[in-house]
């Protein structure tokens, strides 16, 4: 699928970007070019040490910001596939710096779209978040806006052979700023802060997130928001898995935070289809494909009109033991409980 193709990853030095690069190099050895596009020169330097040019001549490193449309267009020359992973993601950071979050997450998304329309790009897949579903914080609101921009971009592509779609998933195990590394760093104190004892979240590994993006590249018609079927966990069980003997202190839900996360609302259900391993929310307005075309293409079935997908109402759950196994598999192979 990506052999002899050129791929650009915005935010390519982040947790997802690094895993995506690793996966491409492993599964598509004949990839033509991988462009790492990000604004952090230190992280690019560190990634260059892992992938030296002498051994990985297909890698290119572009310093640039998604806020800079001109630089994006230059980086997209000769690119076949764009994976848009760049974003301001910390909820509290976005609340305190709303204009900066909007510049990156909304204006940056439109810049990616404009760059794809102006060049020979064939596929664009944007990363979203469960916080974009019925958002209550600015980060989620900007990502919902971004999702809408990418879905609607299919209606302005004209005669171009170009498809835009979105992938949406929950908390990624071990990603920077997430709860697992936070608890691992704090457990030596003998106390872990818990926002609410009933709080739940969706759980996905980095590799599963990458696999979802690969599925989107290979199967999208354009306009879909793809959502994986993944387990939920109780945050209190994550704490018990990491530090079973630690004291748990309930500190209260933080501003802009939900008790439970949602990826498909009951309103979304009217446009949602079940693909088997994934769900897909179809565009409410599409000038390219009708509902039946999407269903037939994906060999899917519509979900029940009353369906919704929320972390506390999931049918699949992580346990303390399964979380310990997954932490060893996906985060730290030397992990031991304390």
Q: What is the model's pLDDT at position 188?
A: 86
Q: CA–CA separation, 182 vs 295, rounded Å?
A: 41
Q: CA–CA separation, 111 vs 9, rounded Å?
A: 14
In order of start, what are the domains of the chain with their CATH numbers?
6-170+205-228+262-308 (3.40.50.720)
Q: CA angle 147-149-152, nearest 5°? A: 105
Which of 18, 19, 89, 131 is catalytic? The answer is 131
For 118-142, the pLDDT digits (tens) are 999 999 999 999 999 999 999 999 9
Position 338 pLDDT exceeds 80: no
Q: What is the model's pLDDT at position 177?
A: 73
Position 189 pLDDT exceeds 90: no
Position 176 pLDDT exceeds 80: no
Helices 138-153 and 108-118: angle between axes, nearest 10 degrees: 20
Q: Is 32 a catalytic residue?
A: no
Instruction: Tally the residues of the chain.
Output: 338
Q: Cβ distance 167 to 216 under 8 Å?
A: yes
Q: CA–CA separation, 109 vs 90, rounded Å?
A: 17
Closest CA to 194 of 260, 131, 240: 240
Q: What is the model's pLDDT at position 104?
A: 98
Q: CA–CA separation, 30 vs 35, rounded Å?
A: 15
Return mean pLDDT, the chain: 95
Q: What is the model's pLDDT at position 125?
A: 98
Position 40 pLDDT exceeds 80: yes
pLDDT band for position 178 (cuts 50, 70, 90) = confident
Nearest 10 degrees: CA dihedral of 265, 269, 274, 278? -20
Report the relative pairing of strands 163-167 and 123-127 from DSSP bridges.
Answer: parallel
Average pLDDT over residues 177-181: 85
**Bigger pLDDT: 169 or 338?**
169
Q: What is the model's pLDDT at position 174?
A: 80
Q: Cβ distance 146 to 297 under 8 Å?
A: no
pLDDT band for position 95 (cuts 50, 70, 90) = very high
Position 336 pLDDT exceeds 90: no
Three-state secondary structure of 275-327:
CCCEEEECCCCCCCCCHHHHHHHHCCEECCCCCCEEHHHCCCECCHHHHHHHH
Q: What is the model's pLDDT at position 175?
A: 81
């Amino acid at each position: 699928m990506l052999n002899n193709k050129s791929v650009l990853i915005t935010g390519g030095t982040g947790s997802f970007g690094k895993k995506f690069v690793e996966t491409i190099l492993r599964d598509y050895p004949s990839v033509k070019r991988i462009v790492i596009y990000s604004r952090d020169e230190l992280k690019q330097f560190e990634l260059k040490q892992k992938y030296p040019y002498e051994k990985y001549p297909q890698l290119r490193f572009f310093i640039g910001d998604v806020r800079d449309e001109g630089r994006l267009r230059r980086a997209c020359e000769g690119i076949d596939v764009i994976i848009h992973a760049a974003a301001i993601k910390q909820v509290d950071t976005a609340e305190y710096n709303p204009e900066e979050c909007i510049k990156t997450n909304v204006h940056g998304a439109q810049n990616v779209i404009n760059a794809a329309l102006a060049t020979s790009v064939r596929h664009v897949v944007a990363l979203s978040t469960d916080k974009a579903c019925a958002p209550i914080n600015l980060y989620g609101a900007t990502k919902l806006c971004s999702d809408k921009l990418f879905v609607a971009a299919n209606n302005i592509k004209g005669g171009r052979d170009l498809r835009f779609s979105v992938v949406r998933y929950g908390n990624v195990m071990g990603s920077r700023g997430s709860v697992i590394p936070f608890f691992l760093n704090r457990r030596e104190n003998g106390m872990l802060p818990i926002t609410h004892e009933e709080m739940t979240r969706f759980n996905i590994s980095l590799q599963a997130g990458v696999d979802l993006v690969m599925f989107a590249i290979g199967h999208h018609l354009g306009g879909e928001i793809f959502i994986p079927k993944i387990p939920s966990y109780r945050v209190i069980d994550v704490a018990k898995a990491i530090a079973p003997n630690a004291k748990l202190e309930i500190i209260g839900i933080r501003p802009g935070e939900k008790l439970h996360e949602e990826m498909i609302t009951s309103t979304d259900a009217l446009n949602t289809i079940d693909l088997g391993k994934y769900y897909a929310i179809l565009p409410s307005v599409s000038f390219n494909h009708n509902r039946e075309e999407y269903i037939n293409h994906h060999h899917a079935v519509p979900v029940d009109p009353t369906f919704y997908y929320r972390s506390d109402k999931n049918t699949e759950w992580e346990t303390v033991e399964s979380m310990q196994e997954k932490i060893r598999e996906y985060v730290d192979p030397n992990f031991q409980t304390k």
